[in-house]
Amino acid sequence: MVADAPILEDDLQLLHAALDASRLLILVVNRDGLVVDVNGAVEQAFGQPRQAFLRPIWELAAIPAECALLEGAFRPLRPGTLSRGLVFHVKAGSAPARVVDWRARFVEERDVPVVILSGLDLSERRAAEQQLRETEALQRQILDRMPAVVWTTDRDLRFTFSAGGGLASLGLGTGEVAAVGTSLYSYFHTDDPAHPAIAPHLRALAGEATSFEVTWLDRQFQARAEPFRDRAENVVGTIGLAFDVTEQARTAHALAESEGRLRRLVDARDQLLVKEQSARVEAELANARLLLLVEGSKRLARTRNPNDSLEALASLVVPALAEWSYVVHRGWDGGPALVTGAHGDPNKESLLRGLQSCVPDLAAPDGAAKVFRTGEVALYEDIKPDQLLPSQARWPLVGTQDPRHLRTIRELGMRSLLCVPIMGRSGVDAVMLLVSASDPHRYDAEDVVMARHLANRAAVSLENGRLLFEALDAVRARDDFLAVAAHELRTPLAAMLLQVQMIGRSIYEGRIEPAAARRSVSAAETQARRLSVLIDGMLDVVQLASQRIWLRLEDVDLRELIARLLNRLAPQLSRAGCEVTVAASEQVDGRWDRARIEQVLTHLLTNAMKFGAGRPIEVSARATEGNVVISVRDHGFGISKEDQARIFDRFERAVSTRHFGGLGLGLYTTVQILRAHQGDLRVESEPGQGACFIVELPRRAAHAPERADAAPSPPS
């Protein structure tokens, strides 16, 4: 402070008062470079008392270079040695140094010139600037390390800024994404506002932020464009941010491909496993079916009669093909009859037994009746209870209206029904019914095939049983015939032998009487002829059974033939006491084998005599269109229906051999002769009411007829 200048003292006091109120830092330095005064702002800025600054100014410099600079400028201080502005770091006491931007002013008007330094403390600003730089550097580092690109555009979509680590992956440096001023349109070589990179920016200009994907220099970016607003919230351009997701996309793609390959491998493996398992299941199915067929064949082959065969069949299919089954046979003597059934569940067997009398009506449209009519398999699926109820409006599915049977079937359960024919020689012998009580769609095509196989085996078994039955029956008939034939042959033989013995005895005794000898010889001859007739009949049967009958066709007048025959048989008719009446049309003729037709009529008349009980015999012959009908009616004891079915077979007879002779071949031979003429023979009779044998003959028989059937069926 300058002590010897009172005026200056006053001035300084004024100066102090004025400058203490200033926020500027003020130092007053004399020409020796000594700080003579400071204002309050200096004390406040450094937190030091005023005296701490009253020293040569260069001692206040915190940096040696600045200290030297100040000392050089202030000692001596002259105008021109000190620039108007200087910046140096001030240090006072223990307070940290501060950067101050000083302005120097010489005050030379005074006797003692001084320099007034007014300073602006830059420390806070510098620190803030440093922090800003550091923040910017940090942000730049962050941006440069991010796989992203940041850019801004003006309202014309011209780039105003670009940065980001994503640029490096594009081979570009900061700010090189596009030259500032380059338009997005030209950058993407498009003028299309709908371009995937342009449209989001246009929306951003309209105030809408949009995320989008864009491929940029072969890199893939997930981008977002937002409006860039000024302080007044006006949209002045766009801000874009794009993340380079190329590697991520490649990785995701590779991962997806790997997953895809893995999935395909797994799928292929699974498919193989499924196929392998499926093949094993199929093989086992085939195996089990084969076992069933083999077992079925074995069992059916062991059966000795049809009922056993059908029982075995019904049992075979449970449970492999059915929960329960039953078989309807058409019956050995007429209408269908339920033969047998099988159920795997012992608690339901008694229910099933209730169906043994359940006979389906052949008029029913469905079920076994349909199969009997068509010979085809019938499959019924998803059967509802109302299809098994008695109804006037429609037939229940199973072909019976019996409420008890229908109730039993409903209790047993029937959701699927498979009806399979068992074929015989002349159509459907029986129908096998396979039932699933639980599965509405139990049967597929393979099940049908399987069931048909089993039914075919059952049919073979049935046929074998029938053939066995027929063979046994034929053996029985043959044995009966042999007994009858022996008896029939022995009778004339014995009589003939008696006559021969009588003649022999007369010769031996030497007393032959011619008359007696003639009677004996005649009687022997009669018996021999009778033997001959019997043997001819047997031979005829053999021939009819094994050879074709050759007819010698000629024009025959039937009236004349009958008259001649009756004349020939007159003695026998007389002995039998049978009166014969003939009713014949005027013209009854045709082209036939005369001898064979005579053989037929002879046999029918002989039969009428034999069984006519001495009552009248009526013969009629009339011509119809193309045919001739001949009937021979007796009034004897008649023939039962049962016998009518078999009297036309070989060795068959309706009466006891004890009471009536004959070999039982006549009607068989008659039928064969008539069939050789394409004709036929039938009988109408009731027990006790006599019998009427009716011959139908075409008037013009073919010349070379078919071979006579070796095993004829009865006439219908």
Question: Given the rule CB under 8 A, which residues bind other proteins?
Answer: 277, 280-281, 283-285, 287-289, 291-292, 295, 315-321, 323, 344-348, 413, 436-439, 442, 447
Nearest distance, CB of residue 357 and other proteins, angstroms: 24
Nearest distance, CB of residue 318 and other proteins, angstroms: 7
Q: Which helix (DSSP H) or strand (DSSP E) does residue 212 occupy?
A: strand 210-216
Greatest C-alpha distance within the chain = 229
Q: Which helix (DSSP H) or strand (DSSP E) does residue 386 occupy?
A: none
C-beta of 63 vs 274, nearer to other proteins:
274
Nearest distance, CB of residue 398 and other proteins, angstroms: 19
Per residue, what are the HEC states of 315-364? HHCCCCCCCEEEEEECCCCCCCEEEEEEECCHHHHHHHHCCCCCCCCCCC
C-beta of 285 vs 486, nearer to other proteins:
285
Contact assessment for residue 630 and residue 592, using Cβ atoms and an 8 Å cutoff: no
Nearest distance, CB of residue 244 and other proteins, angstroms: 49
C-beta of 95 vs 449, nearer to other proteins:
449
Nearest distance, CB of residue 456 and other proteins, angstroms: 18
- The one-letter amino acid at 1: M
Nearest distance, CB of residue 281 and other proteins, angstroms: 6
Distance, CA of 85 to CA of 104 (rounded, Å)? 6
Nearest distance, CB of residue 258 and other proteins, angstroms: 29
- The one-letter amino acid at 449: V
Strands 617-623 and 580-584: parallel
Q: Which helix (DSSP H) or strand (DSSP E) does residue 633 occupy?
A: strand 627-633
Which residue from 50, 101, 58, 64 is spatially nearest to 76, judged by alpha carbons?
58
Complete DSSP assignment for 410-429:
HHH--SEEEEEEEEETTEEE
C-beta of 324 vs 395, nearer to other proteins:
324
Is the preceding omega at residue 76 within 30 degrees of 0, hence cis?
yes
C-beta of 265 vs 281, nearer to other proteins:
281
C-beta of 290 vs 507, nearer to other proteins:
290
Nearest distance, CB of residue 482 and other proteins, angstroms: 44
Nearest distance, CB of residue 400 and other proteins, angstroms: 24
C-beta of 77 vs 317, nearer to other proteins:
317
Distance, CA of 90 to CA of 79 (rounded, Å)? 23
Nearest distance, CB of residue 343 and other proteins, angstroms: 9
CA atoms in the 13 A half-sphere facing the CB of 107? 17
In the three-class reduction of DSSP (H, G, I as helix; E, B as strand; rest coil), residue 609 is classed as helix
Which residue from 519, 526, 371, 390 is spatially nearest to 448, judged by alpha carbons?
371
338: which residues sit within 8 A by CB, 6+ positions away? 326, 327, 328, 329, 355, 356, 357, 358, 359, 360
C-beta of 293 vs 500, nearer to other proteins:
293
Count of Cβ atoms closer than 10 Å to residue 522 Cβ? 11
C-beta of 279 vs 582, nearer to other proteins:
279
C-beta of 63 vs 281, nearer to other proteins:
281
613: which residues sit within 8 A by CB, 6+ positions away? 634, 635, 636, 637
Nearest distance, CB of residue 323 and other proteins, angstroms: 5
C-beta of 11 vs 295, nearer to other proteins:
295
Is the preceding omega at residue 319 within 30 degrees of 0, hence cis?
yes
C-beta of 319 vs 577, nearer to other proteins:
319
Distance, CA of 135 to CA of 125 (rounded, Å)? 15
Nearest distance, CB of residue 287 and other proteins, angstroms: 6
Paired tokens of 232:
């007044």
